[in-house]
A and B are shown apart, each in its own frame.
Chain A
Amino acid sequence: SQTIHQWPATLVQPVGSPLSLECTVEGTSNPNLYWYRQAAGRGLQLLFYSVGIGQISSEVPQNLSASRPQDRQFILSSKKLLLSDSGFYLCAWSKKGTGGDIQYFGAGTRLSVL
């Protein structure tokens, strides 16, 4: 069966520090991968999605970047965190198909930038 791992679960970082959140998927190959951010009282906002190694699409301009160094690994990064980067970050994967595929989510990372 497929599983998705996301870590760390909680992170407290000072403003201006770097960030690296990691997400890995097991039990499948060549998945679509996604990073979402969920601000308090809001829905999920898509940040990045990837259809393959090295292929990253960004949905919104921001202080963050994403990379996919391996087929089942997706990394969210920042060189210098801002207060506005605080939030709950979710990684998700879906099978490649004709669209409308179910997305399966990780447990999320709660990031607090102080």
Chain B
Amino acid sequence: AQTVTQSQPEMSVQEAETVTLSCTYDTSESDYYLFWYKQPPSRQMILVIRQEAYKQQNATENRFSVNFQKAAKSFSLKISDSQLGDAAMYFCAYGRRSQGNLIFGKGTKLSVKP
């Protein structure tokens, strides 16, 4: 069975600095997708970034980028120029091509200090 592990329950970053959130996963499949979702205090889950496993190029969305290491089954999220609005729970998720549901990690709570 696929699993997603986020080893950092909490992280803290200074405003304008860079932070990296870690995520590892376990799967025997070769074709899959990985996601980072953000859950601010409002509790609404918002997609941050999506990576297709067959694409070697790391996905980027403005200040957010990933380091996708397929062989190591690692999918970290880098947030550059951190802003106060980035403070939230961040969830890593795995999705198989053959099935629509996602498997989520337990999340990392990110605090941003002014």
The finding on whether chains A and B are genuine partners in a shared complex, rather than unrelated, reads yes
Interface residues of A (CB under 8 A from B): 32, 34, 41-46, 49, 51, 59, 88, 90, 92, 94, 98-108, 110
Quick one: closest B residue to A50, CB to CB?
A: B100
CB contacts under 8 Å to A, within B39-76, are 42-47, 50, 52
Contacts of A90 in B (CB 8 A): 45
CB contacts under 8 Å to A, within B55-114, are 91, 95-107
Interface residues of B (CB under 8 A from A): 4, 6, 32-33, 35, 37, 42-47, 50, 52, 91, 95-107
Contact at B106–A32, with CB atoms within 8 Å? no
Contact at A94–B100, with CB atoms within 8 Å? yes
Contacts of B101 in A (CB 8 A): 34, 46, 49, 59
Contact at B91–A101, with CB atoms within 8 Å? no
Contact at A98–B47, with CB atoms within 8 Å? no
Contact at B45–A100, with CB atoms within 8 Å? no
Contact at B42–A107, with CB atoms within 8 Å? yes
Given contacts A42-B106, A105-B45, A107-B42, contact A99 B99 (CB under 8 A): yes
Contacts of B45 in A (CB 8 A): 44, 90, 92, 105
Quick one: closest A residue to B53, CB to CB?
A: A100
Quick one: closest B residue to A31, CB to CB?
A: B100
Contact at B100–A44, with CB atoms within 8 Å? no
Closest 10 CB pairs of A and B: A100-B33, A99-B97, A105-B45, A43-B104, A43-B106, A44-B104, A100-B95, A32-B100, A108-B43, A46-B101
Contact at A102–B43, with CB atoms within 8 Å? no
Contacts of B47 in A (CB 8 A): 102-104
For B4, B50, B99, B100, which residue has the most chain A Cβ atoms within 10 angstroms?
B100
Distance to closest chain B CB from A66 (angstroms): 13
Contacts of B35 in A (CB 8 A): 102
Contact at B44–A105, with CB atoms within 8 Å? yes
Q: Compute how far the CA of A5 lies from the CA of B97 in the bound complex, rounded to whole angstroms.
A: 27
